Amino acid sequence: MANILILDGTAWLGRSIAERALAAGHRVACLAGGEAGGFPDGAAAVVVDRDKPGAYAGAAAENWDLVIELTRRPAHARGAVEGLSPRARRWVFVSSCSVYADHSVPNADEETGLLTPLGSTEVYGPELYGEAKSGCEWLTMATRGTDALVVRPGLVGGPGDPTARSTYWPLRVADPREPVLAPCEDGGQRQHVQLIDVRDLAAFILDAGLAGRTGAVNAVGEAVPLSAALMAARDAAGTDPKVIPYPLSAMDDDGVSPWSGPRSLPLVGPPGDDHAGFARRSDARALEWGLARRPLVETFRDIIAAEELWTGPGSIPTRLKRVIEPTSTTRRFELTLRRPWLGWFPKPTVVLDGVGQPGQWGTRYWKVTGGDAVAVDIFLFNRLWKYGEATVTVEPGDETALIYSAPWLPFLPGKVRPLS
């Protein structure tokens, strides 16, 4: 039986590691502030504020066979490894494939260059996630030398995925409503998915750590084409829904983002040659070290079994929300916003039935109520005053594309007309 300490062990991956270790008969303690979730049943809870001095003094009173660190904050990584390393026989830092500076080469291995590390005194923000994880790696190795394991996962999925990136498609095709709007490649680089089940990742981290593995390793899923991943979701659901292909080339015009975030397409990676190796990292070292991966269809099947599915009228579970897909009660219309010839630095706003939304210059689609007339109001704001207002009503069944022309001067109204 090993004595294991998991730092930040209350979130999804940390809990999965803890539960795996407890099931194997190990003694487990989780050190965290508790904000990310409750402590796993059976694990000792070490509640600390990792930003305060002396946060690790209590944990440093014990000897640990294995310490597993999951933080993304370099300041936390430094305090932990400096305070606990003398008491830790083995150390694992769970990093990310986001640390790599280059994603253009398929099958790139662990020797690929990393992003500039974020320092422990620099301010962390989500936009610096890759640099922050790189900084945590550097601080870990600076203290432990070569006596540490750095695990770099790619996309992690499975039941309970808090990001919904892995759960969206299996739950969507399990939903009996049709049609399903599915991404369709229509040129450019071929999209891939490289998803590792959180349970397989937890097992690998635990087993490799206890075995004394050291160095960096990509803990990633098998790279499969996006079309194969979507087919696996359909196979897991046991459905054959009517599908409307959504061309990926339309994403920019529609204001749809890849990967994650508002108005995004889950599992769709960034486009372009700079990301030709995205979701196609080498898994050779991890497989050599014993990484065992379940089939993608099994992960999707377990996701469906673990979720509450929509079976009739009423509210839809949060994870089944549409990304850009119209339903029987919604529709989309095309609106082009033309920038004024002169400057004045205006920003457009589109108001749909009294609800304002920031607009973008160019063409995109807007979702509105399907069966009612909708008032569309457009205006500009240049940090000093509002101007350029124009209003139009979009009637039910009206599929006419609209174009808004901004005025030349910042005190005139705008014009909106059908696109001829």
What does the pLDDT average to over 281-297? 98
114-138 pLDDT, tens digit per residue, is 999 999 999 888 889 999 999 999 9
Q: Is the pLDDT of residue 196 over 90?
A: yes
Residue 338: the pLDDT is 86
Mean pLDDT over 175-180 rounds to: 82
Whole-number Å distance between alpha carbons of 240 and 243: 9
Q: What is the mean pLDDT of residues 238-257?
A: 87
Range with the poorest average pLDDT among 196-200, 201-205, 327-331: 327-331
The more confidently predicted of residues 35 and 235 is: 235
Tens digit of each residue's pLDDT (9 = 90 or more) over 325-335: 444 456 777 88
> CA 265 to CA 278: how far, in whole Å?
16
For the cut 50, the answer to whether the pLDDT of residue 316 exceeds it is no
Closest listed residue to residue 181, CA positions, set 319, 326, 329: 326
SS3 116: coil
Model's pTM, two decimal places?
0.75
Question: Is 411 a residue whose pLDDT tops 60?
Answer: yes
pLDDT tens across 50-59, in order? 999 999 999 9
Residue 83: pLDDT over 70:
yes
The residue type of 11 is A
Mean pLDDT of 348-352: 81
399 burial via Cβ count (<10 Å: 0-12, 13-18, 19+): exposed
d(CA 367, CA 385): 28
| Whether residue 280 has pLDDT greater than 80 | yes
Q: Which residues, at least 6 apart from 7, have a Cβ–Cβ distance to it below 8 Å? A: 31, 32, 67, 68, 69, 70, 71, 76, 80
Q: Mean pLDDT across the stretch 80-87?
A: 97
Closest CA to 7 of 54, 39, 53: 39
pLDDT at 313: 39
Long-range contacts for 34-39 (Cβ within 8 Å, ≥24 apart)? 34/10, 35/10, 36/8, 36/10, 36/11, 37/10, 37/11, 37/12, 38/10, 39/9, 39/10
Query: Once rounded to an integer, what is the mean pLDDT over residues 162-188?
Result: 86
pLDDT value of position 420: 63
User: What digits encode the pLDDT tens for the residues 358-373?
Assistant: 677 777 777 776 667 8
pLDDT of 96 above 90: yes
Higher pLDDT, 121 or 381: 121
How far is C-alpha 7 from the chain's CA centre?
22
Which of 2.60.40, 2.60.120, 3.40.50, 1.20.120 would CATH assign to domain 330-418?
2.60.40
User: What does the pLDDT average to over 187-196?
Assistant: 88
- Please report the DSSP string for 29-47 in residue order: EEEE-STT-PPPTTSEEEE
Mean pLDDT of 2-10: 96
pLDDT at 415 over 50: yes
- Which is nearest to 69 in space by CA: 85, 53, 54, 58? 85
d(CA 324, CA 365) in angstroms, rounded, equals 9
Question: 157: helix, coil or strand?
Answer: strand
For the chain, give every domain's residue range: 3-153, 330-418
Cα-only R_g, the chain: 25
Proportion of the chain above pLDDT 90, given as a percent: 56
Domain 3-153 has CATH 3.40.50.720: yes
Q: Above pLDDT 70, what percent of the chain?
A: 89
Confidence of residue 286 (pLDDT cuts 50, 70, 90): very high
- Residue 330: the pLDDT is 64
What is the 8-class DSSP label of residue 25?
T
Measured CA angle at 153 (ends 128, 15), to 5 deg = 95
Residue 314: predicted pLDDT: 39
CA dihedral for 311, 316, 317, 323, sign (positive or negative):
positive
Assigned token pair, 100: 């790599």
AA letter at 379: F
